[in-house]
A and B are shown apart, each in its own frame.
Chain A
Amino acid sequence: SADTLKLSHVRPQGATIDKELHTFADNVSEATSGDVQIKLFPASALGDYTTVQERVSFGAIDMAVQPPATAADRRMQISVFPYLAGSWEQAHAIYGPGGIIRDTMAKLYDDQDIVMLAAYPVYFGGISLNVNNPHPASLEPNGIKVRVPAIKSFQLTGEALGYIPSPIPFSEAFTAVQTGVVNGIIGSGAEGYYASFRDVTKTYIPANTHFEVWYMLISRDVFSGLSQEDQNAMKEQAAAFEATRWETAAEDQKANEALLAKQGTQVVELSDEELAAMSKKVRAEVWPAILDDIGHDWAEPILDEVRQAEK
């Protein structure tokens, strides 16, 4: 009998990820001779990623492609550690197949009865402002209020880069920027800002704050309920889905920056030295604070491997 799996993702219908997932769903259907059908629920229709991850963990939702939620396990913040990767090559080395962060995350998901099928590189994060920032590379306090997601590492990163972070719920973020309750946002990247905040993005600073990666998740109960052949077919298709994305992600990010520029956003250019200075400050100030929370003993070996990959 055919199983129809419900897959939740966070972007609207027609977005790049939505199209790629449609292709993935078609390929899975074909590879399993129609045994496994996947139905997409775009735009977080099944709830925000935090509750979706928990519902995947006990099989109430079958699959999801989304950022990791840290509520159930604070160690998952390792995936969004600021300035973990400085380039696409480094990102591929740590988040791609066999990478240390990816393997670590797979283990953490496994603790929650979730099988990670693929990593989906999205973009390097940046800063969107509805005002001008005359010194975008400065690390001094600049008095600009920004909305940050309710994740500690983002709040500390915002502060380290000189901004005043303010936790405003995502549903109110757009309005808050538009009216000036805050002057900008940290926590997303060119694609996210273009999709949801382009009307209020005067300045875009590609500060590479973090590497945004989503994971393709499937409930372990659901996955082990499939035949061995179907499981293998899904793994293969997921790997293909990921491989394609690693090839196109960098281009996609450039395209989204171009889209922002085209509609009048000033896209700031930062030199390698400026980026390195930001990275150095954030790593020095933010990393130790987060390590206090998630455990030095657990995290240090992982970060050592990350540093290895940089060479």
Chain B
Amino acid sequence: MQENRVFNATLWASLFIMWLVSGEAFLDWAFTMPDIGRLDDALLGLVAGAENAKAALGLPDMFQALQAAIHAATGLG
């Protein structure tokens, strides 16, 4: 039970870190979501607000850097 809590918490923390260092990938995803009516504006506002706060931190887009490095090394992409 305790181990599963640690496992899940680590996954959520990783997801948060991924969001922090992945540029606008999450924002792009939010805009491609199907329209869910009245909730849509609120959700998009929340995501945009969080993205603005993240942008203010000036963190690098490490995901894109990793992607570019892998694609350059493998010839894929």
Q: Do A and B come from one complex?
A: no
What is B's interface to A at a CB cutoff of 8 Å? none
